[in-house]
Structure 1
Amino acid sequence: MKITVVIKLYFFLLISTLSFSQTHTITGVVSDSLNNPLESANIIALPKSENAQLKFAIADNKGRYKLELEKNVKYEVTASYIGFNEQVLLIEPNSTVLTHNFKLKATGQQLKEIIIKHEYKPIIIKKDTLTYDVKSFANGNERKMKEVLEKLPGVEVDKKGNVTVQGKKVTKMLVEGKSFFGGGSKLAVENIPADALDKIEVIDHFNEVGFMKQVSDSEDLAMNVKLKEDKKKFIFGDIEAGVGVANDTGYHLLHSGLFYYSPKTNLSFIGDSNNIGRSTFTFEDLMRFDGGVSSFLSGRKSFTNLYSFTNDNTDVVENKSQFGALNFSIDASPKLAISGYSIFSKVFMASKSESNNEYLQNSTVAFENQTQNNDNRSVLGIGNVKLDYNPNKKEKWYYNAQYQSSTNDMDNVINSITNINSNTFETISKADNVSIKQYVEWHKQYKNSNHTTTFVVNQAYENNRPSKLWLTDQPFLAGLIPLQSDTDYTIEQIKKVKNNSVDALFKHYWIINNFNHMYSVIGNNYGYSNLLTSEKQLLTDGTINDFASAGFGNNSIYNLNDAYVGVEYKFKIGKWTNKPGLYLHQYDLKTNQLDGNYSLSKTLLQPQWNSDFEFNKSENLNFTYRLVNDFPEVSQLANRFSLQSYNSVFKGNALLENERYHSASLRYSKMNMYRGIIVTANASMNKKVKTTRNVIELDGINQFNTPILTDNPETNYRFFGSISKKIYRFSLKFDSNLSWFNYIQELNSVTTTNNRNSQDLGISIKTAYKKWPDFSIGYTKGFSQFSGLTKSNFETEGINADFEISILKNWIYKIDYYNLKNSDNSNQSNFFEVANTSLRYQKKNSPFGFELSINNLFDIKAKNDFSFSDFVISQRSTFVLPRIALFSISYKL
């Protein structure tokens, strides 16, 4: 397979060499009459041939542009810039013109927008908004919105459905100006039909409240989808059904995406049922649905575990998923809009893994061979409604309410074989979770527009009731739990957690002048938790051995109040914008427990700083700093024992205080379309000066953990960077992800300094020419090091490749390939490779499409990896779904 990938790459390199003579490149500078460069000027090359494609370029900070044109096509090249008259250059077929400089003359008028004029108006630029006319870039063969976006200049879509425009990630997805399923991008790009799209708007520094944009400092990038007129007041979308087989097991796929849009009413429905491990939306999308919290207030932690509902999961031996989602928006009156969504998800997953674990101790090493089988059934329901009220142009109200309910049932069987004994543990877990969240927002701008206020109240309630049964035929956790001798051992654990929080904030924005702003803040965050736990042994004779007499069982009531005031001063010097801030917090923490009551009161100053330097419109450097105080949760303070797993017991510490740490980041971005270069880099640092870390007592594989607060420093440095360069018809990209983590750990009364470091480096190349098949290949190399009680090193090598080609206009063939090799410091290694392929047939303008797809083409049985923690080194094999051949039919409404 590796040889095949190399042959494909060579094949396309050969094509590029043979095709070189069919294109020529024009470069030049766009400037004003005084020879000042016009940064971000737009250059549009409109072909006068029906089969040729429009070309587009943006001038860099020196006014330079570069256009790659077809050699035998006539073009009308237009240069434009706000406040200047357009200039047009005609390029004849087979022209020898290689350079041309545009000198634009000022109109003397303040233009609100630039429209590049021709019959399609392909691109419109208006301040922070860039609008693409879809029909100027699409060829009609696209099925979904994702395929259209990939053809727009400067737009990229990754495999997870994340969209970036000129290197910046889209954080809010809108359709006809309304939030689409909470604003996540994956549901939109993978479900909205391509033939429904009319225009794509990209809005930088997006804010839902228009008059707040000048003071909100929003970094959001929104994408708004405008639909064709014939798709409004009409149901559109598609449905798909597929059947498959693998190892005499039947597989299926049912999927639908139906949409109705009118000026006052918008409806969207997405439904999915499959057992091939395909997820309809990502965890990032679900976090939006799990929200129900104002964007002005953040930091609240949810106890609900939603991981099992998201992400494609073929790393299982069985997966059944049912999903339904409805999104609506209604303009009830000119001043009131009502929107919301409902989500239902039902997932069953069966997984299997095998691990070889080494438990590191001061003088000995305990070995464990572990086999683990999981059956997980999860059901989730979410309902969300939002009211948007505009009494006038200077005032806005929001009310948002969300109800969420989920059940999680898991049956876990662990077969543990150590150098001392062997046990089989079965764990039956159940968790019923309910949450209600709501918030009110009020924003008002006063008559002179120099003063704006925001008031927010946020309330959240959660009720979680997890329970567990541990079953085994042998004693376990000797010395840690008070077991009575029996033929079989059954331990029951019941936990109840109730959380209630009320947060409020009032913020005033004062625009002193164009270069100075002053913001003042007053707020209060209140959190309440009640934690109940109990552990009991259910004896075979019907009696109960309650562990409460041995120090188990918690009944903890937790109250944390945070009252604060703050001021932020924003000033601008040339291209440099700064916003220092200082907040004064009064923290009051109280806990009531079975073993006594505890209280803590602290007054703390928390400075912060944000600095932004704009070298030019396409190059930016940003620095942020915060001093953070993080107070413990109720589970960390609960000071009686609690059973965590078959080999772990935990006890909280009621005397814990707040962690204190410095957080800083430095972000750099640059995009130069003239040179075809995009650079992004981000360096971050977290340095704890007061640290909460578990003290561990390890005996064989059994462990006892309790948290303590220390003055031991703990530092975490991270760096992420990527640089991409367009080279002729290819795009070459280098990326890196580096991490250094240093901390102090106490294990069996011995204190050690631990270092956990990792370095991941990658290189990839892909075709960047629409007339060629889509092809990409990448190589990644990873290094991991751990030093503490022992030293461990791991290395990984991975190759990934994707290939897509259109055959005879109506056929599309795709294949993706990935392999990974893991090696440890003992020269032991493992390897696996995965491939998926598909062949699709659909005539242009035909509603029917047919597809044959094969997942896990090589029919591998398991994926392998290495990992390490403070005291465990593991080599694991995770079993996966078998090779599945699936035939599907789709119908486009």
Structure 2
Amino acid sequence: MKIRYALLIIMLLAGIATTKAQTARPVSGIVKDSTGLSVIGATIKLKTGKDSVSTATDANGAFNFNNVQGNTFDLTLTSIGFQPLKRHIILPADVKTVNLGTIVMKFESHMLNGVTITDINPVKLKEDTIEFKADAYKVRDNAPVEDVLKKLPGVDVDKDGNVTAQGKSVTKVRVNGKDFFGGDLKTATKNLPADVVENIQIIDDYGDQANITGLKTGEPEKVLNITIKPSKNYGYFGQASLGDGADAIPQEKDNRYVASATAFSFNGDRQLAFLGNLNNTNTNLFSFGGGGPRGGGPGGPPGGGSSSNTNGITTARSIGLNYRDSWGKHITAYGSYSFSDNTTNTISSTIQNNTSLTNPIVNNVASNQTDEKINHRFNFNIEYKPDTVNYLKFVPSISYAGVKTNQSASSLFMQNDQTVSDYNLLSTLNSSAPNYGANLLYNHRFNRKGRNFSINVSAGSAKLDQTQNPVYSYLVGVANAPVNQLINTNVRTDTVGTSLSYMEPISKHGYLELNYAYHHAYTTSDKETDTLTTLNTRNNYALLSNDYNFTFITNRFGLNYRFIQKKYNYTLGIAAQPSILDGNSLTTGTQTHITTFNIAPTARFIYNFSRSQSLSLNYNGASNQPTYNELQPVVDFSNASYPVQGNANLKPEFNNNFSVKYNQFNFATGNILFTNLSFTQTDNKIVANTISYPKVYTPTPKLAGTILTNYLNADGYYGGNANYVFAKPWEKRKYTLMFNGNIAYNNNISYISNVADDTYAMTTEKNIAKNLVLTQGTKFRVDITDVIDAEASASYSVNHTTNSISQANVNNNFQTINLGINGKNYFFKDYTLSYDYSKVIYEGFTGSTNPNILNVYAERRFLKNNAATIRLSAFDLFNQNTGYTTTSSSSYVTQTQANRLGRYYLLSFTLKLQKFAGKRPSPGDGPPGGGPGGGRFPGGGMGGPPPGGE
């Protein structure tokens, strides 16, 4: 008995001792990646015996557990993009507080299997890249990438599919780091299915050479890079749509139709894409740019614009093919061919108030213009990597733009409320512009870390052959220029250039770069102007003909120092840039020789506070050569009211560009803040000098009653732009509130000249036009998967201009309010109701209305995997779609009203087929007729080896 009691007492004391030994204690630590940056949102699981508890790292990568009992426990760390890490911890019994210090996680290039992600870190900030995780922004099955873009904070997609990011236009698209359809944006955003996308990157791209060397200077362009999920490496996607409808306006009764086809094929390294489109609903598959000359000069009838212009009614016919594959182990090839045949009819009216010293001048222009545009574009890329130190890229390209324009217009020219001239214009224009080019880039990394050499060579030839026949019928006023001209213009510009860069490490973190760039451009232009009689007999009009050639040569010598640390890096440099401009007019005998010399510092600083916070500052200087129209010395009368004469003695401009960018993402709250600030100051700015001539001008009768534009160099120009985007999501981005604002200010310079009615004496004054554009907007989004996807928005914009030369009876203040709501509601799983309403309120526009635009559609999905969709659409139900725009310069203010596609209905049917796999499908898995053709978009950065020394 005594022995039993003794044993119980011993066991009780042992239990008390054990309990004291397992006194609870706090355990903490910090998780970082191999570069030293904090890993935010990593899951930390602590297990003691059969008990476990989990937490996540905060914005600094820190974690903390309270009341941890026991001397031993297991710690498991997991995070997307990192290899899982497990540690077994043994602690001394007398330790009261445990700090595990820094735990380093290694990057993982493959997705983890068997892990269910309940929420996703939606944003990553890198030096020049903002990366959005596509799965964090849910969209409906089979939706295009464009639907994801519309949900990204700081990214705007307009009704025509044009994309802006952080206030700047996105100019190019890539898929897994390679240009897609030559970088044509909408080919990917409107056609690539969203469910194959892993992430979307917005990149400030400084060019291939900068991406390889790591040394980035100059002004970047905004590039959209779409990364494909590894699970979609093999398979195919195809979609075809047919639609038919009609205008609801009885007097028009035009038939509306659309037919499109899209096919993507993925097979490892090989990828094929086919796009085709035929419609008369203002939907453009490709954006080729202008494709022809701008119409009219200042105040003239508007030119054809680009094929994606929202004004006018467009019939579009286009087709394209994109290819990518690996030719063996060392060669990657990719390229595309695109073709379009578009016809656009634009009806517009323009009011132009011209700046004048004494006599207010107003020009009213009404125009009906039809443009027929044919575009071809072919580009190809061959990347050769024989080993890890050498890289070669060859890029040939060919393009062709042809335009046929027929225009009828009327022009009423008023001065002091008196008619100077009133005429009708009939004009035809035919032009063809073939372009050829090639670029070769070679890079070599030496054995010593950081030592690197690269050379880039480019050459190209651009040609324009144009025939124009403007015919004027004067109702009031005397014809100053020939009423029937035949103008034949042949312009050709040949360019060649090269840039070299050599980088040498001079310390553990410091690198010295020597660079040199050479550019040579030679332009020849032969412009022959004849007059035609009523019998269409040609008479040479030598005074308006012109044969002018000019050469522009620049050399740039630079020295840069780059310092790289984990959290920050900076570049400091200086460049000397001499330039030569030689001009020769065979018509007038004018010869010019202009030399300039500029010193351009370079500064760039990047500081990465963490993976979610970064700051960058940038400065660069660059010259800008005059254009042919600004140099050629013979008066161009293709627009009778606004003749143009160049100045052969112009100097090149030199731009000093500054920018600051700050980005922040809060992992805990999901709040996102993007800010950008830019400023440009220009030396020798090329500005307009507008000269108003009286109705009677005997020294040069053909200038009577016109406003002649010529060009001068001037100092004093500067401009700045600032914008911000703030987004606050909650409930895992089911609800998001966004604020965005932009302010732009330009101090424009021009010269205004008047010729007196009696003495013909000319008076010239410098005009400073201060233009302020201020916009503030807000959006509220609701995203509940398979229930609702909607957005309400409002914005207010002010466009205000003040001139140092007083402008009586000229409205320089315009205000616009935009209100809108758009969204999709989902019913009974397979039914969708979509609506898009916008209200625009114009203030200051002469004769403007405040249109209500409402587009709706109802659709039904059916067949297996929702492969088929039938949709009934109604566009512009209130039939009020009219565009009003204003432009301001230092010499005029214009208001333009143009027609746009009005109310119509469309019934369409869409069929989609797709099958993807993360590995090569077994026989029989592919589409009928022999397995999956095509290829995946192989992962990888921007193409080319990593920067030397990094």
TM-score range, shorter chain: 0.7 to 0.9
Q: Percent identity?
A: 17
Report deviation, 1:460. 0.6
Which residue does 2:394 correspond to in 1?
399
Distance 1:134 1:121, change over 3 A: farther
Q: Is structure 2 residue 730 aligned with structure 1 residue 733?
A: no
Amino acid aligned to 1:260: S
Deviation at 1:355, TM superposition (A): 3.2
2:370 to 361, 369, 375: 375
Structure 2 partner of 1:42: 41
Corresponding position of 1:800? 820
> How much does 1:796 deviate?
1.4
User: Cα offset for 1:691?
Assistant: 2.5
**Matched residue, 1:842:** 861
Structure 1 CA distance for aligned equivalents of residues 346 and 104 of structure 2 = 67
Judge conservation of contact 1:388–1:398 (CA < 8 Å) in 2. yes
Spell out the pairing of 1:229-248 with structure 2 (5 A cutoff). Answer: 232=234, 235-246=236-247, 247=249, 248=253
CA distance in 1, matches of 2:132, 2:843: 48
In the superposition, relative to structure 1, how do residues 86 and 139 fare at CA in structure 2: closer, same or farther (>3 Å)?
farther
Using the TM superposition, give the Cα deviation of residue 474 of structure 1 relative to its aligned residue in structure 2, in angstroms: 2.0
Counterpart in the other structure of 1:97: none
Residue of structure 2 equivalent to 1:453: 453
Aligned equivalent of 2:600, options 592, 597, 606: 606
- SS of the equivalent of 1:339 reads strand
How far is 1:667 from its partner?
1.7
In the alignment, structure 1 residue 721 sits paired with structure 2 residue 724: yes
Amino acid at match of 1:704: L
Give the Å deviation of 1:138. Answer: 6.3
Residues 337 and 388 in structure 1, CA contact (< 8 A), matched pair in contact too:
yes
Match of residue 668 from structure 2: 674
Change (3 A) 1:33 1:622: closer
C-alpha spacing 1:30/1:646, structure 2 compared with 1 (3 Å): farther
When structure 1 is superposed on structure 2, of 689-698 and 236-245 the one drifting more is 689-698
CA drift of 1:722 comes to 2.1
**Paired residues of 1:399 and 1:439 also in contact (CA < 8 A):** yes
- Paired with 1:613 and 1:619, the residues of 2 have a C-alpha distance of 9
Corresponding position of 1:892? 912
CA distance in 1, matches of 2:283, 2:517: 43
Give the drift of 1:867: 4.5
SS in 1 for 2:629: helix
Residue 547 of structure 1 deviates from its aligned partner by 3.0
1:650 has 2:644 as partner: yes
TM (norm. structure 2) is 0.76
Deviation at 1:252, TM superposition (A): 0.6
Task: Map 1:253-652 to 2 at 5 A.
Answer: 253-282=258-287, 308-311=305-308, 313=310, 315-316=311-312, 318-418=313-413, 419-420=418-419, 421-474=421-474, 481=481, 483=482, 489-548=483-542, 550=543, 552-572=544-564, 575-594=567-586, 595-652=589-646
State how far apart, in whole Å, the 2-side matches of 1:770 and 1:237 are. 24
Bigger mean CA offset, 174-183 vs 37-46: 37-46
1:756 matched to 2:771: yes
Deviates most, 881-890 or 529-538: 529-538
TM-score, normalised by the number of residues in structure 1: 0.80
- Amino acid in the other structure paired with 1:532: D
**2:658 is equivalent to residue 664 of structure 1:** yes
Query: Would the aligned equivalents of 2:771 and 2:888 in 1 still touch at CA under 8 Å?
Result: no
Structure number with larger C-alpha Rg: 2
Please state whether the residue corresponding to 1:187 is helix, strand or coil: helix
- The superposition leaves residues 387-439 of structure 1 with CA deviations (integer Å, 9 ceiling, x where unpaired) of 22222221111111111112101111112234425321112111111010101
Whether the 8 Å contact between 1:326 and 1:341 is mirrored in structure 2 is yes
Deviation at 1:334, TM superposition (A): 1.8
**Superposed displacement of residue 819, structure 1:** 1.6
Uncovered stretches (5+) of structure 1, i.e. residues with no partner: 1-28, 47-55, 66-76, 89-102, 291-304, 484-488
2:29 corresponds to = 32
Q: Which runs of 5+ in 2 are unaligned?
A: 1-25, 46-54, 65-75, 89-97, 293-301, 695-704, 755-762, 914-950
Q: What is the alpha-carbon distance in structure 1 between the residues aligned to residue 424 and residue 628 of structure 2? A: 32
Closer, same or farther: CA 309–358 of 1 in aligned 2, 3 Å: closer
- Residue 226 of structure 2 is aligned to residue 223 of structure 1: yes
Change (3 A) 1:663 1:718: same
- Shift, 1:537, TM fit: 1.9
- Contact residue 533 and residue 642 of structure 1 kept, 8 A: no
Of stretches 592-601 and 324-333 in structure 1, the one that deviates more from structure 2 is 592-601
RMSD: 4.2
Q: Which residue of 2 aligns with 1:15?
A: none
How many angstroms does 1:112 deviate by?
Answer: 3.4
Write out aligned runs for 1:696-715 (5 A).
696-699=690-693, 702-710=706-714, 712-715=715-718
| Counterpart in the other structure of 1:119 | 114
Q: Per-residue CA shift, 1:703-755, capped at 9, x if unaligned?
A: 10111223x41121222222222255532222222122223332123413322
Q: Distance in 2 between matches of 1:190 and 1:887?
A: 20
1: CA distance, partners of 2:613 / 2:503? 28
In the alignment, the residues of structure 1 paired with residue 473 and residue 860 of structure 2 have an alpha-carbon distance, to the nearest angstrom, of 57
CA distance in 1, matches of 2:164, 2:749: 39
Which stretch shifts more, 749-758 or 205-214?
205-214
Query: What SS does structure 2 have at the residue aligned with 1:831?
Result: coil
How far apart, in 2, do the equivalents of 1:35 and 1:503 lie?
45
Shift of 1:689: 3.3
Summarize deviations over 1:268-306 as a string: whole Å, max 9, x none. Answer: 1000010011122456xx69x99xxxxxxxxxxxxxx99
Report which stretch shifted further, 673-682 or 881-890: 673-682
Determine whether 1:814 maps to 2:829.
no
Q: Distance in 2 between matches of 1:438 and 1:867?
A: 37
Amino acid at match of 1:423: Y
Report how far residue 542 of structure 1 moved.
4.5
How far is the alpha carbon of 1:203 from its aligned partner? 9.9
**Aligned-residue offset at 1:141:** 2.8
Worse-superposed segment, 241-250 or 698-707: 698-707
Change (3 A) 1:80 1:373: same
Q: Distance in 2 between the 1:206 and 1:739 partners?
A: 23
- TM-aligned CA distance change 1:431 to 1:714, over 3 Å: same
Q: Report the 3-state secondary structure (helix = DSSP H, G, I; strand = E; otherwise coil) of the residue aligned with 1:474.
A: strand
SS in 1 for 2:647: coil
Instruction: Tell me if structure 1 keeps the 8 A contact 2:31–2:105.
Output: no
For residues 827-850 of structure 1, what are the alpha-carbon distances to aligned partners after superposition, in whole Å with 9 as ceiling and x for unaligned? x86311212111121136132211
Q: Which aligned pairs between 1:65-104 and structure 2 lie closer than 5 A? A: 80=79, 85=85
Kept in 2, the 8 Å contact 1:80–1:86? The answer is no
The answer to whether the Cα contact below 8 Å between 1:535 and 1:643 also exists between their aligned partners in 2 is no
Contact 2:41/2:667 (8 A) holds in 1: no
